[in-house]
Structure 1
Amino acid sequence: MLILLSCAKTMSATSRVKVPFTTLPRFQQEASEIAVQMSQFSVDELERLLRVNAKIGVENYKRYQVFHADSSPLLAAVLAYTGIVFKRLNPSAFSEEEQRYAQDHLRLTSFCYGLLRPYDMIRLYRLEGDVMLPEFGNQTMFAYWKSRLTDVFIEDIQKAGGVLCNLASDEMRGLFDWKRVEREVRIVTPEFHVWKNGKLATIVVYTKMSRGEMANYILKNKIQKPEDLKGFTWEGFEFNESLSDERRFVFTNGKGG
């Protein structure tokens, strides 16, 4: 089983975690070209393109200006991203065996690096999928990556057993020819909902936390069969058979009305 997680907007350049191996991103050249183009934008332009405030605009202007410098810090992707999902994934607690297993069974989306293995070494950046770069014919990052990633993604899933546990946000499907992926491998998409006033509600922070926890559960237990995902429980979330089907595995918290 291969797990797909979304990258996080927040990143760190340092980690105390020691890893026994690291790898180069498979789309390092593309990332380098993207960073060159992003470095041409002013702070004001970055604020608009990335929909961020002035402080974050300045921060990322500086990041892109030094992206290719030898002094620019590199960190394994799974340690560099610091969002809620990655806090719950908790890669700092992985054993060496779990790190090596994760390298083969976990993939992270990235608008800059395309598709990352957890221990690919990356630099700090910020990018959005709808950013259009002139030298790429003004196509969005989604369009730019789709033709480059789909074959590699399918091959990774097949190598990991032919099943994808899709724990990424919905927008990340735009990085791939998703219909083709659906035809060639089995995809299971877990959903996490809370019962509120007798109705199901989606609370973003709980969804993110649950995605990280489930990814950790899969890696720790080396889960290969989709059916074994049904045993996942966390903070009251448990598998809801009546709301699920072969593609959608729904986990609910609380009681329905």
Structure 2
Amino acid sequence: MKIIISPSKTKKFDTISLGSDIIYQEKNKYLENILTNMNKSDLKALLKYEKVGELDYTSNVKTKAILAYSGLVFKNLNIKKNMDKLYILSAYYGILRPNDNISNYRLDMNNNIVKNEYKNMYEFWENIYDFFIDEDFIINLASSEYSKMVNNKNMITIEFYIKNKKGVYTIQSTNSKIMRAKFTSHILNENIFDKEKIKLIDLDNFSYSEKYSTESVYRFYKI
């Protein structure tokens, strides 16, 4: 069993703690060459981001991914063990282990910088599709943008539903990000590596719905 999560756009490098080298060094170098040769105005337009001068695609300053990412999911992670079962998907690095080194990059799967040779970023990273082929199952706690990088017939997506003001159950972005972090932490800390035991998890009043779930999508509703 492995768990996949998304990266975050926001990062912090106030604590520099060097870890391991990334898995896909050659492919990352390919993207680095493209991005470092782009002028600032083109990069701003591509990323829809003004502060491109703060970015670093050359890894001059880097730290462990689990410490560098600072988005809502990562702020709510509290993993005490089984870190080797967690993988972070990235448009720039492909697949990251929590202790792999990353720099202050910015790149999403919809930023198609490989269009001269590939259809899109998913095609560029197609060797990742079967990275987890030998796993019995994958728990998908990533966004749809990133989970599409992984092709595994035994992937289980977990969704969280909460009532809106109209009393209708919907997926709420902020709440989902927090619950993804809490579920990730709980599964790893409690050694929950069985599909059926995952269904029994009850966190923050979110409970598994047998009625609305499928074999590949586990839906949790806040009661």
Q: Is TM more than 0.5 here?
A: yes
Q: Which SS does the other structure have where 1:198 is aligned?
A: coil
Runs of 4+ in 1 over 3 A off after TM superposition: none
How do 1:102-251 residues align onto structure 2 when only pairs under 5 Å count? 102-103=83-84, 105-133=85-113, 137=117, 139-146=119-126, 148-155=127-134, 158=135, 162-176=136-150, 178=151, 181-182=152-153, 186-196=154-164, 197-251=166-220
Query: In the alignment, is the contact (CA less than 8 A) between 2:83 and 2:98 conserved in 1?
Result: yes
User: Which protein has the bigger helix share?
Assistant: 1
TM-score, length of structure 1 as denominator length: 0.79
Displacement of 1:138 in angstroms is 5.1
Residue type of the alignment partner of 1:109: L
Displacement of 1:140 in angstroms is 2.2
Range with greater deviation from structure 2 (105-114 or 37-46): 37-46
Query: In the alignment, is the contact (CA less than 8 A) between 1:133 and 1:139 conserved in 2?
Result: no
Query: In the alignment, is the contact (CA less than 8 A) between 2:137 and 2:156 conserved in 1?
Result: yes
Residue type of the alignment partner of 1:10: T
Q: Which SS does the other structure have where 1:154 is aligned?
A: coil
How do 1:56-67 residues align onto structure 2 when only pairs under 5 Å count? 56-60=51-55, 63-64=56-57, 67=58
Range with greater deviation from structure 2 (130-139 or 75-84): 130-139
**% of aligned pairs identical?**
27
Q: Aligned pair in 2 of structure 1 residues 152, 198: CA closer, same or farther (>3 Å)?
A: same
RMSD (CA atoms): 2.1
Q: Separation in 2 of the partners of 1:153 and 1:248?
A: 18
Q: What residue in structure 2 maps to residue 9 of structure 1?
A: 9
Q: Separation in 2 of the partners of 1:79 and 1:127?
A: 18
Q: Aligned pair in 2 of structure 1 residues 210, 57: CA closer, same or farther (>3 Å)?
A: same
In structure 2, runs of 5+ residues without a counterpart are none
What count of residue pairs does the alignment treat as equivalent? 222
Displacement of 1:134 in angstroms is 5.3
Displacement of 1:8 in angstroms is 0.8
CA deviations 1:178-222 (Å, max 9, x no partner) are 3xx21xxx2211110112333211110000000010000111011
CA deviations 1:226-245 (Å, max 9, x no partner) are 11112322322222222222
Q: What residue in structure 1 maps to residue 78 of structure 2?
A: 90
